[in-house]
Amino acid sequence: MHIISVLVNNHPGVLSRVVGLFSRRGYNIESLAVGTTEREDISRITLTVLGDDYTVTQIIRQLNKLVDVIKVQNIGKRDNVSRELLLVKVGYDSNTRNDIMHIVETFRGRVIDISLDSLIIEMTGDPEKIEAFLNLINKFDVKELVRTGLISLERGNKTLKEYEGEL
């Protein structure tokens, strides 16, 4: 899996042009997360894609040609910290409540809403942790779930803006 981080000018239509580049070339985006950065006028798009190194290099070159793109980097190749947020609504009864709570505690999740017959669990972590949690919680009455997609930063002091001329 490749994690592509893209700094863009925060203008209407930029996300559409970035995603359109993938769809025009027949590439699938596994996950997508977008948000403003430390500067309101710049957004970071984090994409996870499957593909060989050559294909991803071509994608990065094409992204760099887009007008509002400031910088693109495949940070999946570097030492990074990656996280995802999961919200899941699980139905429970008196027989299953303790088992669900034990799983939530084991994975350091949080129950953020509770009603008489369901609860909403918040979980953050790397994709492997999220998948392991889902494998266990899916044995119960999962009513809904939503995932943010991966967000990622390279470890250390270097920032994405400092990679001039690299692919």
Return the CATH number at 112: 3.30.70.1150
Q: For 104-150, what is each residue's pLDDT tens digit?
A: 999 999 999 999 999 999 999 999 999 999 999 999 999 999 999 99
The answer to whether residue 166 is domain-embedded is no
Residues for the chain: how many in total? 167
**pLDDT computed for residue 24 by the predictor:** 87
Task: Say if 28 falls within a structural domain.
Answer: yes
Is a pLDDT exceeding 90 seen at residue 99?
Answer: yes
In terms of average pLDDT, the best of 20-24, 26-30, 96-100, 151-155 is: 96-100
pLDDT score of 166 more than 80 = no
Closest CA to 161 of 76, 81, 82, 70: 70
Q: Does residue 162 carry a pLDDT above 70?
A: no
Are 33 and 87 in a shared domain? Answer: no
Which pLDDT tens digit goes with each residue over 18-35? 999 988 888 889 999 999
> What is the extent of the structural domain holding 57?
2-78
pLDDT band at 88 (very low <50, low <70, confident <90, very high): very high
pLDDT interval class at 78 (50, 70, 90): confident
Model confidence, pTM: 0.83
Backbone angles phi, psi at 158, to 5 degrees: -75, 140
Residue type, 105: E
Looking at the structure, tell me whether residues 6 and 28 fall in a common domain: yes
Same domain, 95 and 132: yes
- Which secondary-structure segment (H or E) carries 31? strand 29-36
For residue 12, give the DSSP letter.
Answer: T
The reply to whether 56 falls in a domain is: yes
Cα 65 to chain centroid, rounded? 24
Nearest-angstrom CA–CA distance, 40 and 113? 31
What confidence score (pLDDT) does residue 167 get?
39
122: left (phi over 0), alpha (psi -120 to 50) or beta: beta
Kindly report the CATH number assigned to the domain that includes residue 58.
3.30.70.260
32-69 pLDDT tens trace: 999 999 989 999 999 999 988 898 898 999 999 999 99
Domain count, the chain: 2
Give the residue among 95, 108, 99, 110 at the shortest CA–CA distance from 136.
99
